[in-house]
């Protein structure tokens, strides 16, 4: 697949509604790395680990999940980079959580194979704790 097709795979993932739709865009052996030292940071391997260590804990702490706005998508070869920001998010403790992200995706055979996420880690800790 070319850069344009890979951009479309990532766009579908970013615009997907619901965990199953998001996971459907990923390979079974996907790796997701969150940079930093937050409670969510590290590398998760496979869809189940991503759900258990990332999706469930974050969604459990969000009162209002809000949404992501894609600001820019850049692709070259197997790699797609997305700049985006969150809007309308609030934790159950009442803190706003509207982070800004730069996420690097590697796409192989029409599925997302690797994700490396960069964001304001201080905001993550402020909103979700250590």
Q: What is the pLDDT of residues 3-59, one digit of tens each?
A: 999 999 999 998 888 899 999 999 999 999 999 999 999 999 999 999 999 999 999
Q: What is the CATH number of domain 3-128?
A: 3.10.450.50
pLDDT in the model for residue 84: 95
pLDDT of residue 103: 97
Coil, strand or helix at 111: strand
pTM value is 0.91
| Distant-in-sequence, close-in-space partners of 83: CB < 8 Å, separation ≥ 6 | 70, 71, 72, 73, 100, 101, 102
More confident residue, 33 or 65: 33
């Amino acid at each position: 697949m070319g850069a344009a097709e890979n951009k479309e795979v990532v766009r579908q993932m970013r615009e997907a509604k619901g965990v199953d739709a998001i996971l459907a865009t990923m390979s079974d052996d996907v790796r997701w790395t969150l940079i930093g030292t937050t409670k969510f940071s590290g590398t998760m391997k496979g869809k189940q680990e991503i759900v258990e260590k990332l999706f469930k804990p974050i969604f459990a702490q969000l009162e209002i999940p809000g949404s992501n706005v894609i600001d820019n998508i850049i692709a070259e070869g197997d790699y797609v980079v997305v700049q985006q920001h969150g809007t309308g998010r609030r934790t159950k403790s009442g803190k706003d959580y509207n982070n800004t992200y730069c996420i690097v995706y590697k796409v192989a055979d029409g599925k997302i194979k690797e994700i490396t996420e960069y964001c304001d880690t201080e905001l993550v800790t402020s909103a979700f704790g250590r």
